[in-house]
Amino acid sequence: MTSFLKKFQILKKKEMESSSSLAPANRGQWDSREGHFSGFQPPSVQDPANQRTSQLLPLLVKPSTSPAAADAKKKAQTQPLVLPELVQRPTNQKAPPATNKVDDKYGRHPAVEISLPKLFSKEKPKKLSTPVKKKPPEPLVPIYPELSDEQFKFLWDPRKLHRGRSIRESVDMMDEREILDTILIYLNHSVQRPSGVDPRQNRRKSEEIGSSQKTLVQQKSKQSSQEKILLYKYFGVKLRDSRNKDVVSEYLHILLGFAVQDEEEREGVSEAIRIIAFCHLSEILCALRDFGHLMPLRKTLQREPTAEEIKNISERHICTTLILCYGQAAMGAKPEDMLALVDFMVAEILYHYRGNNKDEIMKKTFMRAVIMISKALQLTKKFDIHFPHKSELVVCIIEVLEEEPQVSFSVPIIHQAMVTVTCMTPLKPPLDSEVRSELVNKSVKKVFSLPSVQVSKLRAVNPIHLIQSQEFYQQTINACQNMLIGLLNEVPSLESLQDILIHINSWIESPKICERERAVRSTSHLLKFVSEHLDFDTTPEFSLLGQLVAVLALHIADSVKEIGQIAAEAMYHLHYIIMSRMAKEIEKKHKNKKGNVVKWLREDFFVPGPAVFYNNIAKVAQAFGEHLNSNQITDVVLKAIQNLTHEDKSVSQAAGILLSSFLEECGMDMEDLPMIIKEIYNRLPEISDPITKEETLKAVCSLASKRLNGVVDILLECSVECDENVAEIWKALVADPYANMKLMRPLLKRLQDEDPLSDVSYRRHSKSIMPLAATNALCLILSLPEASDALQNKFSHLLLALVTQIYFVLGAGRRGSKRSSLTDAPIRPNALSTTIQALKNLIACAGYIKEYSILGMQGCWDMLSAPDTYFDGLFLLARTLFTFTKVHLKMTFKQANAYLRHADVKERTVGMAFFTELLYHPEIGIFFMKQDILDVLREWMAQTCPLMRVFSIRGLGHLLQHPLEDETLEPLLPPLINCAFDPDRNIAKESIKTLQYMFQHLDVEEFGSAAIGLLPLLLKYLSDDDPELRRASIVLFGMLLKGVKENQRNSVTENVFKSLVPLLIQLVDHSTKEVARGCLCSCANFLNWTDMPHDIFDYELHDRISTTYLNICIYIMRRYKPMLPGMLAQMVEFLKSRNPSYREAAALLIACNAQYMKPDVVSTPDVETVFLALRELQGDCDASVTNAAVLSIEEVYRHCGYRINPQLVPNQLMIMLRNSMSKPPFEARH
């Protein structure tokens, strides 16, 4: 007994409460009786016999008040064992001693004497003194022609047959005991002592029978088994016709006492019981009960049987006989009698079956008995018949199935078990869903796992055995289908169908062809049955529909053609069921429950027939898509995804088509979109079949065409790094025309860390991985040739977004940003390189090939990769990108303007940088109002943010390089001049650069005086290391000299003199020599050097710069010799410059002015200072500087050597200097 039985204690109580065959007064007794079936022990345990007898009394015993019956009992030759509970006596009469002995022997107590209802309406005939004749057959008694007296003429002694009379008449004249004894002699040569009968009585009867007919027994001992069974049945006919209940009871005990170990004997006894039961059902049940008392296991319910008791084979044979006899008794009894006692008989069968160690014979006998009782109940033709203990019987059958070995080649027990259940299903009550589920599970497992026909051919011993085994295989499979139909018909509803199919579905996916074929065929059989019976309740939710559609659709393309055809037929029936379920709604408004118009009506369905789905899986989605809810759609899709990696290519390809078609049809109705995409992503690398993979990617594209934003988000979450699996999906989306058009918008939104469904920009979330994931995806997508079509009008958006992403990754520009830098959080090491690569791919994809090369050569990518040079790289990018083509210039400027309104400071900063740098292109002035731009720039210059001021000044400088006609620039001059004084070097630099462009539009003579205060500042920048700042300062210095007023001339003159040496030094700098020459000319004009040659500053007139320097120094020293000490101090400072050309130029200038270093002009300490500075350059790393220093030392020593302390001149230098004195002086050589 398995633990499964324990689940049905409540079920049995419920069944007992609903049973209408028991009187309310006896409910308590039946409930206590049921305790031993479920393992429950009542507080006070009675003897089983007494307990059953007390239940049976109201039904079996009739009042017996006739004194004739008592007389007949006394006159009987052999008194059979009759239990006191089954005989009614007066209340004051005590039980006979013999009866009490029997009760004591089996541990029973005397029954309580009560008045009992009648079972039969006829009264017993009085016992006559003459031999009792058997009663003539009643009109309704079954007549068996094969059991007539003439057929058994050999039984009778010719001497006892009367002449002139027929055998029937002669037998009728014989004593009924003599007739019965004669038959028994032929049945068994030695009558065995029956169980439960007084041994002395049995011994006496055996001796009597043996002495008279010993010879006859020996002659008939070899009769065939069939003849023997007929003889048993003949005995049953004779005993059935007996009027004497005592005789019937006596001979029933004798009959049951035969040795029933032999199957033929047991079969014959049961056949006789079936015939006798028509008239003597009560006596049979009493005899069977007494016969069952022979088993020691029934002495108590309070202990488990020992191993020795379980191994007792005789007890098992007795129980087998009892079970069979109960079934035969039910089959042969009158309907009204059987209905009254069927509960008792079923309970007895269960009791005997469960209390023994079961063998195959007992199992078969048990199921046979259940079948007979089922047929007997159905033959009553009464409405609403209940089969008592139905669930418990089914549980026992489940145990039979469990105990059968898996994949058994011998299937009779499995076959009989399912036939037994099939016979029970027409009777009420319907099985509990849990019992039904367990039954179906065990049954299909045993049947579907049977070996294939090919295996049975190999195992067959001979051709006849082969044919028989194959036929029985098919019969077993058919029996399983019939059982399932019967179970389904018990409760005709979709819920019941679902409970059954849930156990079959898994077998449809079996790798074995035979198992798969059986499962698909059974499913089709069930669905066809439901589709043909419109009385089914289709209102319950069919939650299994999605899985069922999926597994059937997958095997429409099965490698076995027959399975595919059966699956298509099953799908046809399933669609018929669904359409029938929705028929009323469709007829009314042609809409399904979701409110969608049904695309595939019945007219489209019925024309082609079941073949409509064969090799056409896409039609499945069209047929069922409109009728599935979101959960069922998810079931279909998940099942399809699961089978994408199926080892059978036909199934995997079918899964791909099913997935693609359902996502195409029902993609908008799916609720578990993230799970679906992630499952596809996980399965994709395992798909080996290229066709399947193609269909899978097509499915994702179909889904993206309906829910692109969701698909993009999930793909980004699946793989931030954009691995190979998700890369395949991105490539498929780019290749898809629809997705290609729409793909960039959600990626752009996620790159900006915004919701794709929102048009509002907001502050980024510092912990989001979406920007990084979108960057990786874009890096891949933009490298594909098809991506150029996807860009369309998104180039400018992506350009600024990627540049902004670089800014965030770098963590640059922390000032003014309220958002924590991304460098504070863990950043993937390849994030920066991937972002820059994505930007490069974008530029190349948009067709900027020449610009791409220039940017690479100018080091733009390296600039963008470093925080210190990031904005320099951005400026270079904005200037260079639109050098040759202006297609995206206007849109990029608009996008930069939009960035100015973003909430995030960094995004605004990048937008401002692009906005101002794009003013470098003159086309901006054509597209937009210049005055509006100027007003914006003026407003920014007043901001406190340094970057905003730098960008605004830089943008103004770009704009001032273009033609300006009607724009007002005067208001911009004061803030620009103020910015030039800013301590921030970048602001000052951009302001000085912009002022030179400003005075190209404004008259310097009119407005230059406002910037005269900048001259001391510019003087510092004339020798700055930054070439741009140095150049701009030189240009602006020269320009401002033109705007000096008379009242400012004296203060400016000193700055002009201080500028001469730096400007002369700049004549050797290739980047500034031209502007330096112009500035020197401006200085000469300011100082009114009218007599100076106009080409004196033209360095190109002489081969060497030293000549130019000499000419200039001659002219200056003639007029401003007192200024020489200050100029020498400036030259000494340039000797310390890091620029070698500056050091060389300073040394040459000193050499040119050495002749003017007279004591009245230059002091001795100043001369020594100059000498020491030049001496330090003797070992300069630059040879030209060393040569210039030596030349200058020689000239200084030539003109001022007598003033230099000899200790300052090393010996070697002194020797060199003395030797050089023979050379002509420097001015003579030039």
Q: By C-alpha distance, which of 409, 338, 397, 401 is closest to 372?
A: 338
pLDDT higher than threshold 70 for residue 887: yes
CA distance 1019 to 1062: 8
pLDDT higher than threshold 80 for residue 622: yes
Looking at residue 926, its pLDDT comes to: 81
Among 6-20, 30-44, 807-821, which is the least confidently predicted range? 30-44
CA distance 164 to 162: 6
Distances (CA, A) of 153 to 251, 668, 754: 22, 87, 106
- The answer to whether residues 602 and 576 touch, using CB atoms and an 8 Å cutoff, is no
Among 256-265, 900-909, 987-996, which is the least confidently predicted range? 256-265
Strand partners, 537: 493
> 544-547 long-range CB contacts below 8 Å, 24 or more apart?
544/498, 544/501, 544/502, 544/505, 545/574, 545/578, 545/624, 545/628, 545/632, 545/635, 546/628, 546/631, 546/632, 546/633, 546/634, 546/635, 546/636, 546/639, 547/505, 547/635, 547/636, 547/639
Q: By C-alpha distance, which of 514, 479, 516 is closest to 397?
A: 479
Looking at residue 896, its pLDDT comes to: 92
Q: By C-alpha distance, which of 663, 751, 748 is closest to 705?
A: 663
CA distance 800 to 789: 19
DSSP for 853-872, written as a single string? HHHHHTTHHHHHHSGGGHHH
pLDDT band per the 50, 70, 90 thresholds, residue 430: very high
Among 74-78, 879-883, 931-935, which is the least confidently predicted range? 74-78
Sequence-distant (≥ 6) Cβ neighbours of residue 159 within 8 angstroms = none
Looking at residue 1201, its pLDDT comes to: 85
Looking at residue 1164, its pLDDT comes to: 92
Looking at residue 470, its pLDDT comes to: 63
**Backbone angles phi and psi of 537, in degrees to 5:** -85, 110
* Position with higher pLDDT, 207 vs 1058: 1058
Looking at residue 815, its pLDDT comes to: 38
Q: Average of pLDDT values for 166-173?
A: 80
Side chain identity at residue 1173, one-letter code? A
Three-state secondary structure of 543-582: CCHHHHHHHHHHCCCCCCHHHHHHHHHHHHHHHHHHHHHC
Residue 240 burial (10 A CB sphere; 0-12, 13-18, 19+): buried
- Dihedral-angle region of residue 164 (phi above 0 means left; psi in -120 to 50 means alpha; beta otherwise): left
Predicted TM-score of the model (pTM): 0.69
pLDDT higher than threshold 60 for residue 1147: yes
Q: How many CB atoms lie within 10 A of CB 768?
A: 12
Summarize pLDDT for 1034-1053 with one digit per residue, the tens: 999 999 998 888 888 888 99
Percent of the chain residues topping a pLDDT of 70:
76
For residue 242, the SS3 value is coil
pLDDT higher than threshold 60 for residue 1149: yes
pLDDT band per the 50, 70, 90 thresholds, residue 313: low
Looking at residue 189, its pLDDT comes to: 55
For residue 592, the SS3 value is coil
Looking at residue 47, its pLDDT comes to: 39
Q: Average of pLDDT values for 4-21?
A: 44
pLDDT higher than threshold 90 for residue 1061: yes
pLDDT band per the 50, 70, 90 thresholds, residue 91: very low
Looking at residue 596, its pLDDT comes to: 61
DSSP class of residue 225?
H
CA distance 10 to 1114: 128
pLDDT higher than threshold 60 for residue 874: yes
Summarize pLDDT for 1076-1110 with one digit per residue, the tens: 999 999 999 998 888 888 778 887 777 788 888 88
pLDDT higher than threshold 80 for residue 379: yes
Looking at residue 824, its pLDDT comes to: 41
Q: How many CB atoms lie within 10 A of CB 915?
A: 28
Among 713-727, 813-827, 896-910, which is the least confidently predicted range? 813-827
Percent of the chain residues topping a pLDDT of 90:
37
DSSP class of residue 753?
T
CA distance 866 to 864: 6
Radius of gyration of the chain (CA): 58
Looking at residue 1194, its pLDDT comes to: 87
Show the tokens assigned to 973.
């001059």
Show the tokens assigned to 53.
């007898």
Looking at residue 756, its pLDDT comes to: 64
Q: Cα torsion for 416, 422, 427, 429, to the nearest 10°?
A: 100
Looking at residue 376, its pLDDT comes to: 92
* Position with higher pLDDT, 17 vs 264: 264
CA distance 1192 to 60: 150
pLDDT higher than threshold 80 for residue 39: no
Side chain identity at residue 223, one-letter code? Q
Q: Cα torsion for 1079, 1080, 1081, 1084, to the nearest 10°?
A: 130
Among 292-296, 402-406, 802-806, which is the least confidently predicted range? 292-296
pLDDT higher than threshold 90 for residue 131: no
Looking at every residue in the chain, the average pLDDT score rounds to 78
CA distance 224 to 230: 10
